[in-house]
Structure formats: C-alpha cells, structure tokens
Amino acid sequence: MLIKRKRGWELPEQAATPEAAFLNRRQLAKGLAAGSILFAGGALFSSRAKAAAASADPTADLYPVKTNDSYKIDRALTDKKHALTYNNYYEFGTHKGISQLAQKLETRPWTVLLDGMVEKEQIVDVDTLIRAMPLEERLYRHRCVEAWSMTVPWSGFPLAALVDYAKPLSGAKFVRMETVVQEETMPGLRSSWYPWPYVEGLTMAEATNELTFIATGLYGEPIAKQNGAPLRLVTPWKYGFKSIKSLVRFTFTDQRPVGFWEEIQGSEYGFWANVNPEVSHPRWSQAYETVLGSNERVPTLLFNGYGDYVADLYKGMEGEQLYL
C-alpha cells in the first residue's frame, strides 16, 4: 500500500503557491496528486537507465569538470535525488513529478541559433558549442518563487563566453532566450493557453555578469533532461523561473523581451525577478524558504545572497519593479 507522507519541503498551500495557481486551481490540485505518485516512481528511476542516458551523451567524457572555488556556499548540498526528481518544467506538466516523463525529451541532434543583432547569424551544433566553452563547476543556491530552495553543483560556462562567441552588435541591449518546442515529447504544449515557447530575457549587463551561467552538467554529469538538458540558464540571484531550460535560441535585441511568466501574469512575475525577502509576491511572503529535502525553513536573503556580485547592476533603477 502506498502511504502518502508529507515531506518537509512539500509546503502547505498557504505557504507557497505554484506559479500557475491562479490559472486553474482544480487542474493544479490534480497535478499535485499525480505529482506525489510520480515522485515515488522518480525515486526508483534506475541507476542503469541513468547510466545508459549518460553514455548516450556525446559530451559525457567532459565530466566531472574542475570546480571553481571562488563560489563558496554556506549551505549543505541538496541531495542529488531531490534535485533530479522535484522539478518545474511546465512543458512536461504543471506538477513537480515530471522527471520520468522528461526522459522523452530528444536532446540530440541539437542545434542552437544565435541571431538578432549579431555580426553574423550562426547555427551551432550543441556538442561543438559545449566543447568550445570554458567548462567549470560552480556551487550555487537556487530560490524558486514558490519559496523552496536548493544548493547544487552546476557544470557549465559563463554566459559571457557565449555572448563573445555570438559577437553581438553594439546596439544590442538584451538577450532573449527560448526553450525548444517538441510537440511529440512535451505533453504540456497541448495546454494551448500557455504562451509557448518558454522565453526569458536578460539585459546585456546581466547576461555578461560573472555569475550568469549556462549549465551543461549537474552533480558532475551531463545535466539531466528534467533539469534542462542540454543547455540551461542559471541566474542564482533571481527567482528560479528566470533560469530557462533546454535552450535552442539566443537572440540579441534592443527590445526588452517578455518572459513566459511575465506574459501570463506580469503583475506577479516581472522582467527583473531579483530575490528580495522584503518584497512579497502578491499571494505569499518571500521572507523564508524551505530547503528541498529537509524540514529546514531559512530566511531568504536579498539577491539570494549574491548582492556583492549584482547589486551594482540595479543602481539608479529604483523606479523599476526589481523584485517581482
């Protein structure tokens, strides 16, 4: 018999409400129920299947990569099994238990389009790109707008290196990023009320900040599909919805991109989305976060603790909604 036990990080509804709750609460309730069943399945996801997936990855030989020790962390690393089975990836469903379903994602062949305001548009094979980039491992915190957090070792490269590779024109002010659209593998795309594809954007200053990272690996292996294989943005000072998965396109532009969540509900999920415990989400407080895989609730920090790296980016922008 399957006995449903509440895990510590499964928050009571009033403590945190998933991003899309306002859309359809009934659908959400169904999703959560399904998620808890799938979660059990996800934990059983066999190591053999994982090994097979890893050996199929043409970049697997690159891992583990050398850790960059400048990015110190004062928290315990999240258990790999939690980071790989408690996910947000709406293309596969609106609940957290999509890790098995996401194995259908076809990550090879995979090309990345670099276009817009660039010297010359390029289409790059992802393996060529990954091998051309300076790979390193960084331990970063991740704070979801739903008030849960994790601390994980990403492998990858600074987005700044990809910006150099793309050779943007001087007039480019933003990078717009797009997730793959795979109708055959992504059941969530059938929910046509969502503004697919998932899009996110950064200013050029944010994109080239040293913290801004493109993850190609996680826990010393190629990044798992559910975590956004083969390329996934990581901006640790912003709420997690900015960290767009499975990237196929980087467009340099002088127009501020409208993100997936901003388009759905701009009053709740803005362009900037910087973490700030003092600015509540319209429907819940952001003061604390529950640490994934534990019962711990810890205070949330301004810029998720990364103010030394990024606070200067927002000087003189007090009129902007920087924290939503």
Annotated binding site for Mo-molybdopterin: 87, 90-91, 144, 179, 227, 232, 243-245
- Smallest distance, Å, CB 28 to Mo ion? 14
Residue nearest to ligand MTE (CB): 240
Footprint on residues 129-168 left by ligand MTE (CB under 6 A) = 144
Which residues, other chains included, contact 153 with Cβ-Cβ below 8 Å and sequence gap of 6+?
67, 77, 137, 138, 139, 218, 219, 220
- If you count DSSP H runs as helices and E runs as strands, how many of each does the chain have, helices first? 8, 12
Tell me the number of residues near ligand MTE by CB under 6 A. 16
- DSSP, residue by residue, 48-115: HHHHHHHHH-TTGGG-SPPB-TTS--SSPPPPHHHHTTS---GGG-SSS--TTGGGG---SS-EEEEE
CA-based max dimension of the chain: 62
Minimum distance, C-beta of residue 167 to ligand MTE, in the bound complex (Å) = 26
Q: Which stretch binds ligand MTE (CB under 6 A): 46-54, 118-126, 235-243, 279-287?
A: 235-243
Indicate the residue among 105 and 144 with the shorter CB distance to Mo ion.
144
Q: Candidates 3-11, 162-170, 244-252, 275-283 — which segment interacts with ligand MTE by CB under 6 A?
A: 244-252
Could you tell me the smallest distance in angstroms from the CB atom of residue 261 to Mo ion? Answer: 9
- What's the min distance (Å) between Cβ of 177 and ligand MTE? 9
Q: Which of 21, 28, 118, 144 binds Mo ion (CB under 5 A)?
A: 144
Which residues bind to Mo ion, rule: CB under 5 A? 88, 144, 240-241
